[in-house]
């Protein structure tokens, strides 16, 4: 049962472009939405996270946009760089639990 749907599965962007990854969730009990970045051979690492009481959070080139009514959130990577090439996972956490429910992942490739 996939509670967090993520798209696209893969994304190719030119250096300097904007990368956009979208996620949608079903469970309204989720109240914390982190994004994880995973490089080949490594474990996932927290990139940025948001709570549903704000509609946007920005950290450097990375921005999360959150639409509570639509139950959707997205990651925007501005000025994408080859070093951003990795797999990105959105996730959700419920109010009464700590377990991360992950999306299926998006493999991002940024070409120079």
Partner 1 sequence: DSGVTQTPKHLITATGQRVTLRCSPRSGDLSVYWYQQSLDQGLQFLIQYYNGEERAKGNILERFSAQQFPDLHSELNLSSLELGDSALYFCASSVGGGAGETQYFGPGTRLLVL
Q: Does 44 bind partner 1 (CB under 8 A)?
A: yes
Tell me the sheet residues that pair with 62. Answer: 59, 77
Distance, in Å, from the CA atom of 30 to the CA atom of 95, rounded to the nearest integer, reads 6
Q: Which is nearer to partner 1, 53 or 112 (CB)?
A: 53
Pairing mode of beta strands 106-111, 86-94: antiparallel
- Which window, 10-18, 44-52, 62-70, 71-79, contacts partner 1 (CB under 8 A)? 44-52
- Which window, 12-20, 63-71, 76-84, 86-94, contacts partner 1 (CB under 8 A)? 86-94
Element at 69 (helix H, strand E): none
Residues in contact with partner 1 by the rule CB under 8 A: 31-32, 34, 36, 41-46, 49, 51, 89, 93-105
């Amino acid at each position: 049962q996939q509670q967090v749907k993520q798209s696209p599965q893969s994304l190719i962007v030119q250096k300097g472009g904007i990368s956009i990854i979208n996620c949608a969730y079903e469970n309204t009990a989720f109240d914390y939405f982190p994004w994880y970045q995973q490089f080949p051979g490594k474990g996932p690492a927290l990139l940025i996270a948001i709570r549903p009481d704000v509609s946007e959070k920005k950290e450097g080139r990375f921005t999360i946009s959150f639409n509570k009514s639509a139950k959707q959130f997205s990651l925007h990577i501005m000025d994408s760089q080859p070093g951003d090439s990795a797999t990105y996972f959105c996730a959700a956490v419920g109010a009464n639990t700590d377990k991360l429910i992950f999306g299926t992942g998006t493999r991002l490739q940024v070409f120079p």
